[in-house]
Amino acid sequence: VWQVLLWLMLAAQAVMVLGLGSHLKGKESPDRPQHRVQHGPCSYTFLLPEIGSCHASATDYPVSNSLQRDAPSLPERKWPAKRLQQLENIMENNTLWLQKLESYIQENVKMEIAEIQLHAVQNHTTAILEIGSSLLSQTAEQTRKLTEVETQVLNQTSRLEIQLLENSLSTNKLEKQLLLQTQEINKLQEKNSFLERKVLDADSRHEEALQGIKAEKLEMWGLLSKQAQLIQDLEQQLATASANHMVLQRQQASLLETVHQLTGLVSQCNQISPVPKDEQKVFRDCGAAYKSGLHANGVYTLCFPNSTATTRAFCDMETSGGGWTVIQHRKDGSEDFHRTWKEYKHGFGSPSGEHWLGNDFIHRLTTQGSYSLRIQLRDWDSNEAYSLYEHFQLDSEEQSYRLHMRDYSGTAGRTSSLSPPGTAFSTKDADNDRCGCKCAQMATGGWWFDACGPSNLNGIYYPASSTTGRYNGMKWHYWKGPSHRLKTTTMMIRPADF
Ligand SMILES: [Ca+2]
């Protein structure tokens, strides 16, 4: 483009050189002739010089203007022929020059277009190359990323494989453990069945034991009810005991007086009577003495069965046909009956007064034959009553002088007041009763205490002045109640077939 412009400028300069004078003059005239060249979108306009106003000759102003042909024709007379020829030559030269210029411009334009096209192609190629390179770089990036991903996947795969291996190993271990567990479970099941059998056995045994325990429980209930009754009695006795303390003291004084009187009587007896001849004989029992013709009450000498040993006993030869060997007698409370086992075994007191003949002798006598027992009672109002047992027997000392009696009758209660058959003898130092307590210590004296039973003729001797009964007093329950006061008691035995 710049070259084309350069060429145009050169052409303009040439025109100016050709007709400067007329050119200046032509400016002032708008009707001056023009020449237009069209080349594609570009158009070139050339102004042609005016020769008419020029006074100088054509030779003086040599102008090379090829456009003269196109200029308006001037009157031929003003132009000399020579000059015209010159102008024509110049015009031809200019025309040639312009043609050259035109072709040159065309060539240049072509080159320019080719260059532009080349440039565009280059730009395009560059852009494509850039796009290609960017695509390449993107591809490389993608490839790199893919490689990374592949590496990660490979790592993961190897990790998973390792885990799989570990898992299979642990599975093997677990299988082994499972096997062991199964074996142990089998063993345990065997043990369990064995234990179950044992438990069943134990259950049956327990059931039996339970039955036994239930029976014992029932017995215990019976005992408990008895105990409750006794406890009630005891409470009553305790309440009265304190109230009667003063009374006891008075009784002691009166007793002392009685003892003095008795001492006087004994001394009188010693002075009066030596023992009768008949009484010096030895009998098996009072029944034998009676049958030998001795019918007087008194103290007789009796021999132990199958022995040379003797003892002395009071014989009642009057009551109910006589022949009774007195084994217990109380009448005034002069004798202490709260004695030991040994004392009850051998006997104590005086045969003519208050007396206990002795368990040993009673046992021997009642086991070598069949004997009856009669219990004679009198209260402070002189009421009398008796209890009779057709059959009476005492076991040995080894068997705690157990009581055996049957065929009860009498007036001292419709029910027997003795403890049930089989009851053992107890003293303050020998507890053989059926009570958790010690009846012999609570009720005092030696007796066949059950738990503790409805009778005790060896309890404390309470005189008439005592207002209420006491649990530890002499007692024959089914005659007139547990607290009815007794004045005299006699227990005596006789052969059943007397
Ligand atoms: Ca006891």
Supply the pLDDT for residue 68.
46
Q: How far is the CA of 438 from the centre of ligand 1 (A)?
A: 4
Strands 486-495 and 34-39: unpaired
Supply the pLDDT for residue 263.
73
Supply the pLDDT for residue 339.
96
Q: How far is the CA of 364 from the centre of ligand 1 (A)?
A: 26
**What DSSP string describes 233-290?**
HHHHHHHHHHHTHHHHHHHHHHHHHHHHHHHHHHHHHHHH-PPPTGGGSEESSHHHHH
Q: How far is the CA of 429 from the centre of ligand 1 (A)?
A: 11
Instruction: Give Dmax (Cα) for the chain.
Output: 244
Q: How far is the CA of 355 from the centre of ligand 1 (A)?
A: 26
Q: How far is the CA of 428 from the centre of ligand 1 (A)?
A: 10
Contact present, 467 and 338 (Cβ < 8 Å): no
Partnered with residue 388 across adjacent β-strands are 374, 409
CA distances from 416 to 153, 319, 384, 389, 411 (A): 112, 20, 16, 9, 10
Our CA angle for 154, 160, 166, nearest 5°, is: 140
Q: How far is 218 from 21, CA to CA, in rounded Å?
A: 173
Tokens of 454: 């409805």
Q: How far is the CA of 378 from the centre of ligand 1 (A)?
A: 30
Q: How far is the CA of 453 from the centre of ligand 1 (A)?
A: 12
Q: How far is the CA of 440 from the centre of ligand 1 (A)?
A: 8
Residue showing tokens 């200019």: 94
Q: How far is the CA of 201 from the centre of ligand 1 (A)?
A: 37
Q: How far is the CA of 339 from the centre of ligand 1 (A)?
A: 17
Query: What letters, b where the CB count within 10 A reaches 16 and e where it falls short, cover 179-192?
Result: eeeeeeeeeeeeee
Handedness of CA 60, 61, 65, 67 (dihedral sign): negative
Tokens of 410: 């009498």
Q: How far is the CA of 463 from the centre of ligand 1 (A)?
A: 29
Q: How far is the CA of 223 from the centre of ligand 1 (A)?
A: 12
Q: How far is the CA of 436 from the centre of ligand 1 (A)?
A: 5
Q: How far is the CA of 443 from the centre of ligand 1 (A)?
A: 12
Does the predicted TM-score (pTM) go above 0.85?
no
| 3-class secondary structure, 39 | strand
Q: How far is the CA of 352 from the centre of ligand 1 (A)?
A: 33
Q: How far is the CA of 450 from the centre of ligand 1 (A)?
A: 9
- Could you give the percent of the chain with pLDDT greater than 90? 63
Q: How far is the CA of 437 from the centre of ligand 1 (A)?
A: 5
Q: How far is the CA of 441 from the centre of ligand 1 (A)?
A: 10
User: What is the helix (H) or strand (E) element at residue 487, kind and residue range?
Assistant: strand 486-495
Q: How far is the CA of 379 from the centre of ligand 1 (A)?
A: 30
Q: How far is the CA of 227 from the centre of ligand 1 (A)?
A: 12
Contact present, 335 and 318 (Cβ < 8 Å): no
Short-list 286, 322, 320, CA closest to 302: 286
Q: How far is the CA of 430 from the centre of ligand 1 (A)?
A: 9
Short-list 254, 332, 273, 358, CA closest to 489: 332
Q: Going residue by residue through the chain (498 aa), what tens digit of pLDDT does each one get?
A: 455 555 565 555 555 544 443 444 444 445 556 777 777 777 777 776 655 544 544 444 444 444 444 545 555 456 678 888 988 999 999 999 999 999 999 999 898 889 889 999 999 989 999 998 999 999 999 999 999 999 999 999 999 999 999 999 999 999 999 999 999 999 999 999 999 999 999 999 999 999 999 999 999 999 999 999 998 888 888 888 877 877 787 788 788 878 777 776 766 555 444 444 444 689 999 999 999 999 999 999 999 988 889 999 999 999 999 999 999 999 999 999 999 999 999 999 999 999 999 999 999 999 999 999 999 999 999 999 999 999 999 999 999 999 999 999 999 999 999 999 999 999 999 999 999 999 999 999 999 999 999 999 999 999 887 766 578 999 999 999 888 899 999 999 999 999
Q: How far is the CA of 67 from the centre of ligand 1 (A)?
A: 178
Residue 397 makes CB contacts below 8 A (sequence gap 6+) with 345, 359, 360, 363
Q: How far is the CA of 228 from the centre of ligand 1 (A)?
A: 15
Q: How far is the CA of 342 from the centre of ligand 1 (A)?
A: 18
Q: How far is the CA of 448 from the centre of ligand 1 (A)?
A: 12
Supply the pLDDT for residue 437.
93
Q: How far is the CA of 426 from the centre of ligand 1 (A)?
A: 9
Q: How far is 438 from 419, CA to CA, in rounded Å?
A: 16
Q: How far is the CA of 439 from the centre of ligand 1 (A)?
A: 6
Tokens of 421: 């058959």
Q: How far is the CA of 451 from the centre of ligand 1 (A)?
A: 8
At position 437, the amino acid (one-letter code) is C
At position 12, the amino acid (one-letter code) is A
